Chains A and B, each alone.
Chain A
């Protein structure tokens, strides 16, 4: 790797410069044939290694924004989120993400990080979350993260280096995992797709894109341990709620209810499969 490229990578903070860096790298690689998506994969791999430090991954901007949002008094009740109970008691953020989704007795249901943070915003800060739920995801190429995406990035990052330990032993948690399993195989819409269609066998591709096979614990761990992620192609920080929405979009389904029982159950099912995997977030992906 050229020292120039390395220096450039270290100072990358915006999506635009990510794109520039990638194209410079392409130009420096003597390519005997036109660059394929596989080449892009390899590039991204190198790039990921280069920018694994917080100074260079644009996803860390969202982490910082999230921390500010977490600790700033806001809403009709002019309160911070610092008393939010993410499952390990009010105020404990460290390691909380590694145990989500989980059952919360105070609401009587299983929640993932996004659902729980929204609940805390409503109950502690008195914020009406309807507008956030209506537009939860940042538009590609715009502001790299919405409020809720930034908050998830912050909370998730506080479990960095820890292992997924969502035990899913409470009857309601088991029910969520089983419901997620049923959803995974549920075929629907104009192309008869289910999650299984694309993620049902080891080593398969759609066009040139390799697809994770979640029955392989290694693949499930590598996947679930790397969300939220900064998606270079969308220049945005993305959460698991967005990934599931995105896959339903590919399935030709109407927009799936954000933080609905369906998306939480699928996240619970996949997280159970990823048990023991290490969390390294925000990661960076295509």
Chain B
């Protein structure tokens, strides 16, 4: 068998799959669009093969934990396309995720910026051992710069310093930001930002607080 670099393998995924004789069965070779069975997620690795390994590594879980391991359609597509989906796939994701946004019953998008600030600082919740009775945090500072006084911020997302000053505080702006935090992928397909509302990681009230922290003129973000 000729020696191939990994880059070469990736460049010629289906040819590589053929070379990987023994590693992949004949049915694994075909590359298909979509997240269906047979879709290739790495050279010579079908989605089925991947999911089989995953199922074996997280066995015997109660239903709520087992559900965390399984991907929904959007996760599967973003994984397969490494977060760079072709236009048609991106459009389908946006359409699906937009439908999933739940709006506040009272029609108000702005909560308390003070609660929002606490939410932005807290990385608590959802980890094994975390008390499920305590409120989850949004952990916004893990990825974003927000208030100028908080210097411990991450850079996985864009800086949101003075976000409200730039964006304004109109009802339209509030609704847009609410949608973004509820489901980042309703705005940007395969965004690296968690779908906080969609995944029920944050409540509607918490998301309103986050919107206030970003847009309220009194919030330290805009000072």
A interface residue numbers (CB < 8 A to B): 36-37, 169, 171-172, 174-175, 177-179, 181-183, 185-194, 196-198, 200, 203-209, 249-250, 252-257, 260-263, 265, 272
Q: How many residues of B contact A (CB 8 A)?
A: 52
Instruction: Kindly identify which residue among A169, A206, A249, A261 contacts B143, using a CB–CB cutoff of 8 Å.
Output: A206
Decide yes or no whether B126 CB sits under 8 A from chain A: yes
Q: List, in ascending order, chain B residues with CB within 8 A of A252's CB.
A: 68, 126-127
Interface contact B42-A178, CB-CB below 8 Å:
yes
Q: List, in ascending order, chain B residues with CB within 8 A of A185's CB.
A: 41-42, 79, 82-83
Within the complex, the shortest CB–CB distance from A68 to chain B, in Å, comes to: 32
Bound complex: CA A178 to CA B17 (Å) = 10
Decide yes or no whether B71 CB sits under 8 A from chain A: yes
Within the complex, the shortest CB–CB distance from B120 to chain A, in Å, comes to: 12
Interface contact A191-B194, CB-CB below 8 Å:
yes
Bound complex: CA A172 to CA B24 (Å) = 9
B interface residue numbers (CB < 8 A to A): 3, 6, 9, 20-24, 41-45, 49-50, 53-54, 56-59, 61, 65-66, 68-71, 75, 78-79, 82-83, 126-128, 141-143, 151-156, 192-195, 199-201
The DSSP consensus for interface residues of chain B is loop
Interface contact B56-A257, CB-CB below 8 Å:
yes
Interface contact B69-A182, CB-CB below 8 Å:
no
Q: What 10 A-B pairs have minimum CB-CB distances, sorted nearest first?
A: A262-B57, A182-B42, A260-B57, A175-B23, A257-B57, A252-B126, A191-B194, A171-B23, A182-B41, A171-B22
What number of A-B contacts does a CB cutoff of 8 Å give? Answer: 147
Bound complex: CA A209 to CA B128 (Å) = 21
Within the complex, the shortest CB–CB distance from A248 to chain B, in Å, comes to: 9
Q: List, in ascending order, chain A residues with CB within 8 A of B153's CB.
A: 207-208
Bound complex: CA A185 to CA B50 (Å) = 11
Within the complex, the shortest CB–CB distance from A199 to chain B, in Å, comes to: 10
Interface contact B42-A263, CB-CB below 8 Å:
no
The DSSP consensus for interface residues of chain A is mixed
**Smallest CB-CB separation from A256: which chain B residue?**
B57
| Given known contacts A207-B152, A260-B57, A262-B53, A177 and B3 CB-to-CB distance under 8 angstroms | no
Interface contact A188-B154, CB-CB below 8 Å:
no
| Given known contacts A174-B20, A206-B143, A206-B156, A186 and B50 CB-to-CB distance under 8 angstroms | yes
Q: List, in ascending order, chain B residues with CB within 8 A of A261's CB.
A: 53, 56-57
Instruction: Kindly identify which residue among A174, A188, A255 contacts B44, using a CB–CB cutoff of 8 Å.
Output: A174
Interface contact A253-B69, CB-CB below 8 Å:
yes
Bound complex: CA A265 to CA B49 (Å) = 13
Interface contact B61-A179, CB-CB below 8 Å:
no
